[in-house]
Amino acid sequence: MVNFFEFMLGLLKEPALMVGLIAFIGLVAQKADASSVLKGTIKTVMGFLILGFGAGALVGALNNFAVVFTEAFGVSGVIPNNEAIVAIAQEAFGYEMALIMFFAFVVNIVLARVTPLKYIFLTGHHTMFMSMLVAVILSTADITGIALVALGSGIVGSLMVIMPAIGQKYTEKVMGTDQLAIGHFSTFSYLIAGYVGSKFGDTSKSTEHINVPKSLMFLRDTPVAIAVTMGVFFLLSSIFAGGEFVEGVSNGQNWVVFTFIQSLTFAGGVYIVLQGVKMLIAEIVPAFKGISDKLVPGAKPALDCPMVFPMAPNAVLIGFISSFAAGLVAMGIQGAFGWTIIVAGVVPHFFVGGASGVYGNATGGLRGAVLGAFTQGLCISFLPMLLLPVLGGLGLEATTFADFDFGVVGLLLGWMVL
Amino acid sequence: MKKILVVCGNGLGTSLMMEMAVKDVVKKISLDADVDHEDLSSASSSQADIWVAAKDVATQLQEMGKENIISLTNIFDKVAIEEQLTNILKG
């Protein structure tokens, strides 16, 4: 009997099985048939395991990039990428993350039921990333066990209703309805863009009245976008570091070939992680929604940021370019001061900068989109830099959490508990 | 049975949300369909009878040569999904 108990405990200590259990509970609570329960649970467990494969693939390339970058510019370079940092962190904090995530869903449903904040946060990967961030910081502060899960899920679950509520004033303006909310932990980006747009914008000229070349839309293809940016920044680093140095790192492989293969390896690794995250949340999120539909009458879904893209497609591209420009300016400033450089990524600037452009346009037209996206672009370039010290050992990796809210929550929590 | 693929940039958030809405509609009109979601990158080599995407991604699906695309301005708009879906099914 004792052996059986230990066996069960051992099973649940395995984070992959823990997330499988979450999916299992969700599916059973939804009264899914046996084959769906089996299929869903297996896919969720595999999704978690795939995160580890992706991490294995991207870490080598990431470390090579970090070595070459430091040699080239004399400061360290960090790539803000949620998928990469979560995949790396799952090995040490996967179990804590899974527990926090599960109870955060419960806290979200309870809060939506009993408070006026009727939001159900459906962006499962962001719940997962936020759970990981909180798990890392609490663990670094030596908070463990029940305290970690209670505190962590309380924080994440509360954020799942508070953040959509904070954004709602501007989201309503963008979407033209109060029935949808933004459920994406870049809320502060959208707030700033909306605010800057309303103060300094000019609604008489909308982004949608001008012609914008659509050719940049290929950047929606995430692996391609990551490969292209990584390729450009890695090549620049390799040129400054010198071919001889790079060939020392590559064990003799031609430095240009090495540069491109490593860039594509990183992008491929992120792609694997994306597939893992997709499988991990694909069963859990619908179960969460199904259960919340029954328990929370009048719930408002809080959705992922591309929800706003169809409202102003031009603003997405303008916001992206403006935000990315801010990222490049920030890199210059960081380099000049000898700080850690946050490498401007196309993916965060495309999704968050693009959505910020839509918010800026809604409150302040073309000028609002440009200024709003630029302002938040500066913020999301400096916040990850400030966040690194509170992440403990994980802050030494060459990648980190990307979005605005992760920076704010991480810093506040870090200052409170560390 | 119809294969319906819902697509977004990363295949993580938006497409999963749209998939839930599409599944509700499929159930409502009792269509025999297999609904799944994926990212834009994978979609180029995937096969489906019907595609669903937000307006901006739908344009890109069209450029890939996909047919029978449901294009949405509001990703959670079940009325629009049902309307476009029944139109496609009528042929």
| Total number of domains in chain A | 1
Compute the nearest-CA separation of A290 from chain B (Å): 9
Using a CB–CB cutoff of 8 Å, tell me whether A387 touches chain B.
no
pLDDT digits (tens, 9 = 90+) for A118-139: 999 999 999 999 999 999 999 9
**Which DSSP letter does residue A150 get?**
H
Residue A113 has pLDDT above 70, yes or no: yes
Residue A1 has pLDDT above 70, yes or no: no
| Total number of domains in chain B | 1
**Which chain B residues touch A303 with a CB distance below 8 Å?**
13-14, 17, 75-76
Residues of chain B with a CB closer than 8 angstroms to some CB in chain A = 8-14, 16-17, 19-20, 23, 37-41, 54-57, 59-60, 72-76
So what's the pLDDT on residue A166?
97
Residue B34 has pLDDT above 70, yes or no: yes
Using a CB–CB cutoff of 8 Å, tell me whether A274 touches chain B.
yes
- Comparing CB atoms, the residue among A124, A274, A301 nearest residue B39 is A274
**Dihedral of alpha carbons A50, A52, A57, A58, sign:** positive
Answering whether pTM is above 0.90, one says yes
* % of chain A beyond a pLDDT of 70: 100
Q: Which whole number is the average pLDDT over B27-56?
A: 94
Residue A73 has pLDDT above 80, yes or no: yes
State the average pLDDT for chain A: 94
List the strands of the sheet with A77-80, edge to edge.
A341-342, A77-80, A399-400
By mean pLDDT, which of A94-108, A156-170, A387-401 is the weakest? A387-401
Q: Which whole number is the average pLDDT over A84-107?
A: 95
**Which chain A residues touch B8 with a CB distance below 8 Å?**
304, 306
- Hey, which bits of A125-180 come out as E strands? none
- Comparing CB atoms, the residue among A177, A180, A277 nearest residue B12 is A277
Q: Which residue has the tokens 């302002």?
A: A375
So what's the pLDDT on residue A381?
97
Using a CB–CB cutoff of 8 Å, tell me whether A281 touches chain B.
yes
Q: Which whole number is the average pLDDT over A3-12?
A: 76
Give the domain range for residue B71.
2-90
Give the domain range for residue A380.
2-417
Six token digits for residue A220: 């929606």
Measure the CA–CA gap between A228 and A129, rounded to whole angstroms.
24
pLDDT digits (tens, 9 = 90+) for B65-74: 999 999 999 9
pLDDT digits (tens, 9 = 90+) for A289-342: 999 999 999 999 999 999 999 999 999 999 999 999 999 999 999 999 999 999
* % of chain A beyond a pLDDT of 90: 89
Measure the CA–CA gap between A65 and A24, rounded to whole angstroms.
40
pLDDT digits (tens, 9 = 90+) for B49-66: 999 999 989 999 999 999
- A361 in Cβ contact with A369 (< 8 Å): yes
pLDDT digits (tens, 9 = 90+) for A342-375: 999 888 999 999 999 999 999 999 999 999 999 9
So what's the pLDDT on residue A130?
98
CB neighbour list of residue A3: distance below 8 Å, 6 or more residues apart: none
Cα separations (Å) of B37 from A94, A163, A403, B4, B18? 25, 26, 24, 8, 8
**A 292-351 → B contacts, CB under 8 A:** 301, 303-307, 309-311, 313, 316, 351
pLDDT digits (tens, 9 = 90+) for A170-217: 999 999 999 999 999 999 999 999 999 999 999 999 999 988 877 777
